[in-house]
Amino acid sequence: MTLPTPGFSFEVHAQDGDARTGTFTTTRAAIETPAFMPVGTQATVKSQTPAEVAATGARIILANTYHLWLRPTAERVRHFGGVQRFMRWPHAMLTDSGGYQVFSLADLRTIDDDGVTFKSHLDGAKLRLTPEESMRVQALLGSDVAMVLDVCPPGGAERKVIEDAMRRTTLWAARCLASPAADGQARFGIVQGGAHVDLRLAHLADIAALPFDGIALGGFSVGEPIPEMYQALTEIVPKLPSEKPRYVMGVGTPYDLIHGMGAGVDLFDCVLPTRNARNGQALTWGGRVNLKQARHRDDESPVDALCECPVCTTYSRGYLRHLVVAKEMLAARLCTEHNLHFYGALTRAARAAIREQRYTQWAAETVARMRGGDEIGAAT
C-alpha cells in the first residue's frame, strides 16, 4: 500500500496469527520487516563503521534529534548534505524527535503545552524545543522518517500524569504535521498511555485519525513490569492500522523482540545490543554470555557456535575475554559487531518462521534455548 508521503509504501507479505512479515519501502531502502534498527545516537552506531552495520543486514538505523541539535547542530549536518551523507550511511534513517529526552532529562527541563525548556547537558545553556522546532531540526537532518514530538511518562506514573502526556502528545502531533517537512520525509505518530490498555486504545484512536505514514508505541520499557508491557503489546499492537508500519520504540531485549514480533510489531530500536557489548556481554542463541567470567579464559570455542558473523568465525571466547578484561577498545568493537549480527539473524529467522507458518513454535523453542543457557541470572 502507498503511504501518505510519496515514495513510501508498506506491504504485508505473510501473516501467522498476529505475527507478520512485509516490506517497508522508503526513498533510500527496502526494509524487510520485522526489523531491528541499530541506534546511531550521534550519527554513529558506537564503535562500528556504516559498512559493518550494513553487513549485519540492517537497512535502517536511528539517530537522535536532541543530541545532533546540540552537537554538531542541525545546520552543520545540513551543510554536509544531511545526516546520511554526513556519516556515509547509504540506507534509510529514522530520527527520533527529542521526546525521549523529555523523559530521560527530567531534572533538566520544564514542560508546558507549547513545548519543553531544557538546560543543555553539555554546557547548561537554555534551550527551547517545540513541535515546530523538532520538525525543523529533523527536516535539516534530512532523515527518511521523522518522529513527532511526544511526552513519555515514566513507568508507574499516575493515571492523570499519563492522560496529560496523551493530551499534549495529541496536540503536538497535529502541530508537527502542520510544520514543513524535508522533501520525501515520512512522519510517524506516537501513541502513549503507559501500560493501561484502555488509555492506549483511546490515544490510538486520536493518532490513527491523523495522516501519518506509520504509527509507533512510545512509553514502553521505561520502568513498568515486563509482564505488563507484554500483555499491553499483545492487546494493542494488533489494533494498530494494518496497512501502515508498526513501531515499538526503545524495545528491547531478544525476548522483547520475540514477544513483540508475535504481536505484529514491524520495527524496533534499542541501545541494548551496543550498550551491553561495551560491558562485555554477548547476546547469543544460547542466552547472554558474560565474557568477564573466568570460565571463558581457556575456551577456544566461538562466543556462539550457531552464529556465522565475522567475530564468531574468527575469534575464541578466550581471546574476547582477554580483550574485555584488559579493557581494550577492540573488545567493544567485536562484541558490538557480534550482537548486531545476532539481532539481524534473530529477525531474519523470525521472518522465515512467519512465512512458514510456524512462528509460535519457533518463538517458544528460541526462548527456551536462550533461557536455558543464560549466564547473567534471571533473564528478562
The residues assigned a catalytic role are 96, 269
**What does 315-372 look like in DSSP terms, one character per residue?**
--HHHHHHHHHTT-HHHHHHHHHHHHHHHHHHHHHHHHHHHTT-HHHHHHHHHHHHHH
Which residue carries 501467522 as its cell? 16
Residue 305: which residues within 8 A CB-CB, separation 6 or more? 312
Give the largest CA-CA distance in the chain. Answer: 61
Residue 336: which residues within 8 A CB-CB, separation 6 or more? 45, 46, 47, 48, 273, 274, 277, 278
Measured CA to CA, the distance from residue 281 to residue 217 in angstroms comes to 28
Partners of 217 in beta bridges: 191, 248
* b/e map 115-126, b = 16+ CB within 10 Å: bbebeeeeeeee
Measured CA to CA, the distance from residue 245 to residue 37 in angstroms comes to 13
Is the CB of residue 269 less than 8 Å from the CB of residue 249? yes
Q: Omega before 72 cis (within 30°)?
A: yes
Radius of gyration (C-alpha) of the chain in whole angstroms: 20
